[in-house]
């Protein structure tokens, strides 16, 4: 009886360790490696973890652990358990082969089954997270890839980069709206948070903005209207937003900011200048208080609006981050596409800690009469 009690205690300790060692991340490959390492150590055998890409689909080897030399040839005992929880379709299998030909005890078989169930639960969470991120990423890319069309008197170029190797998606977006009298409204915004909810809220902001902008209100009044509309909906996340109304006929740009970082203007010589403008509260607070600022915008200058992921770095003061952008010197007479490419490259946006959206615009020079 004492021997049986000791076996049960050993089994319970093993399962307790499995809970702490397996599923430490939401990464599928890491989880499989943790399973293989745990079982190789506790069951003293070589372990293989095989996964289906889809339920019932082709199998791929996801992880191995322990020595490949079983020492028992074809007679080496092995145990296989499905990676499944209850009646769900198996995500794959985990197999343990014992060195030296020693058979597996019932307690060892129970450890394998429980470990496989635990791993299946974590793998299911990981796959659902990937599916959600993929949905959000496709939604985000579809939205930022199809901004409205400005007037032909304005050249534009935009870009969007998700953050990190797992393509963490947020609510960054940009838009262009054609207005009367040859003017165009440029928009860049950032909904707080990440994931599918942020992307959905971003789409709601974009839709509301198009409706309000169609009334041809000045930028600061567009922000006031958006702020009051969003503040009435408790389910909407706050967002920062920058509006720029470009008037090519007059060579001016009028700005209004709701908690957003200032834009930058690149001159014909490639030098950069941050636009100094008043900043109101983010949208959704219901406070309002947005003010317009107008400055000249010559045909040879390129305006760049962006979200904070382009410049912000962890632990760094935002003024230092903006100064880095303002210190850039691009090739002279760079157009919108070149400005976007150069800025993303120079600021190493591929390795940014947050997603990045940028929009560049330049007034087309009038043909000589």
Residue 140 near residue 163, CB atoms below 8 Å: no
pLDDT category at 144 given cuts 50, 70, 90 is: low
Q: CB–CB of 318/326 below 8 Å?
A: no
- Tell me, what's the pLDDT at 318? 92
Asked which of 151-160, 184-193, 227-236, 299-308 is least confident by mean pLDDT, the reply is 227-236
Q: Which is more confident, 74 or 131?
A: 131
pLDDT digits (tens, 9 = 90+) for 37-81: 988 888 888 999 999 876 556 788 989 998 655 444 556 788 898
Q: Which of 4-8, 128-132, 151-155, 346-350 has the lowest mean pLDDT?
A: 4-8
Residue 33: which pLDDT band, with cuts at 50, 70 and 90?
Answer: very high
Q: Residue 258: its pLDDT value, please?
A: 95
Handedness of CA 73, 78, 84, 90 (dihedral sign): positive
With vertex at residue 361, the alpha carbon angle to CA 148 and CA 192, rounded to the nearest 5 degrees, is 65
Q: Are 99 and 41 in contact (CB under 8 A)?
A: no
Kindly indicate the confidence band of residue 108, based on its pLDDT and cuts at 50, 70 and 90. Answer: confident
Question: For residues 141 and 337, is the Cβ–Cβ distance under 8 A?
Answer: no
With pLDDT > 90 as the criterion, what percentage of the chain qualifies? 37
Q: Is the pTM of this model over 0.85?
A: no
Both tokens of 30, joined, read: 């890491």
């Amino acid at each position: 009886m004492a021997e049986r009690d000791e076996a049960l205690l050993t089994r319970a300790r093993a399962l307790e360790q499995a809970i702490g060692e397996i599923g430490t991340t939401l990464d599928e490959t890491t989880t499989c490696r943790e399973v293989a390492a745990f079982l190789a150590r506790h069951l003293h055998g070589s372990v293989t973890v095989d996964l289906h890409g889809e339920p019932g689909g082709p199998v791929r080897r996801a992880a191995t652990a322990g020595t490949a030399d079983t020492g028992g040839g074809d007679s080496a005992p092995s145990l296989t358990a499905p990676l499944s929880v209850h009646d769900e379709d198996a995500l794959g299998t985990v197999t343990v082969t014992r060195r030296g030909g020693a058979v597996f005890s019932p307690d060892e078989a129970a450890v394998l089954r429980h470990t496989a169930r635990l791993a299946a639960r974590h793998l299911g969470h990981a796959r659902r997270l990937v599916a959600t991120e993929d949905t959000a990423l496709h939604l985000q890319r579809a939205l930022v890839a199809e901004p409205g069309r400005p007037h032909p008197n304005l050249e534009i170029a935009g870009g969007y980069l998700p953050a990190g190797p797992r393509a963490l998606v947020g609510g960054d977006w940009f838009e262009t709206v054609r207005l009367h009298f040859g003017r165009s409204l440029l928009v860049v915004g950032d909904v707080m948070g990440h994931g599918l909810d942020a992307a959905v809220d971003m789409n709601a902001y974009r839709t509301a903005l198009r409706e309000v902008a169609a009334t041809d209100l000045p930028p600061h009044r567009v922000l006031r209207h958006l702020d009051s509309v969003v503040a009435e909906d408790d389910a909407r996340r706050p967002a920062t937003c920058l509006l720029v109304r470009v008037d090519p006929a007059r060579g001016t740009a009028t700005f209004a900011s709701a908690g957003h970082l200032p834009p930058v203007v690149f001159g014909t010589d490639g030098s950069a200048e941050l636009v100094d403008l008043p900043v109101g509260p983010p949208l959704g607070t219901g406070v309002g208080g947005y003010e317009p600022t107008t400055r000249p915008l010559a045909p040879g200058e390129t305006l760049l609006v962006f979200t904070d992921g382009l410049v912000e770095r962890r632990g760094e003061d935002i003024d230092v981050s903006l100064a880095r952008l303002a210190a850039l010197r691009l090739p002279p007479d760079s157009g919108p596409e070149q400005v976007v490419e150069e800025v993303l490259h120079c600021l190493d946006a591929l390795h940014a800690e947050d997603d990045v959206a940028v929009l560049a615009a330049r007034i087309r020079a009038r043909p000589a009469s």
